[in-house]
Structure 1
Amino acid sequence: MHALTGDDQAAEISIAVPVDEMTHAMLAQAQLLHRIAKRHGIQIIHQTDQEHTDYTSAGYTADCYRAAWGQPPARYWLDHAEVLQRRAHLADLYTPSIGMGRSGREHSIKFEELAGAAV
């Protein structure tokens, strides 16, 4: 899409959360990813501020994946509704028991209380 339009917004496709997380892990290995992309004659563009993690197995991304490689592996290509359900379940487990919220992005740990108890 980007090659056809030059439009970053139009080229951003919906992606499953586990696949997006792996993309971030790959991007952390920039030199290796650059060599792989160069070997295959492709360019990898990822802009976190534009990412869409609202993938559905009935959507455009899944249709493109099926056309190129067959059925997306269900283990990694989770529908957005399933991701929301799993995150809610984890929040129910972790928020009251260890004080972690928003998928590990916030916490209710009182460090000053812990530091005082250690003295």
Structure 2
Amino acid sequence: MTTTKTFLTILALLALASPAFAKKNRKPATLVPWKDVPAQVQATIQNNAGTGKVREVQKETAANGVVFYCAEVKGADGKWIKVYVSDAGALMKTEPDNARNKRKHKPLFG
């Protein structure tokens, strides 16, 4: 009898705790053409891109409702970085895009 109660208690706790482990529902980012990116955001991205080329800009909304832009920049050295800029044009952060930097083209033959 006690093992049944213990089992049911554990089962109930797992059922109640499972939403806590689920990922938060987040809106997917939307690609924004460069001409539609606000001028102050463009200036901040270009200042932090250096000699690199901006390949893609996405508009995202954080969980607290803050709108920001994420630009993927390919540097002159071939390294990718991400530049995060607020809607007002303030730099939030820059970070290397490790997933893209790890991908290397490997020749099929030779």
Smaller-chain TM-score bracket: under 0.3
Q: TM-score, normalised by structure 2?
A: 0.23
Higher helix share: 1
Higher strand share: 2
Larger radius of gyration: 2
Q: TM-score, normalised by structure 1?
A: 0.22
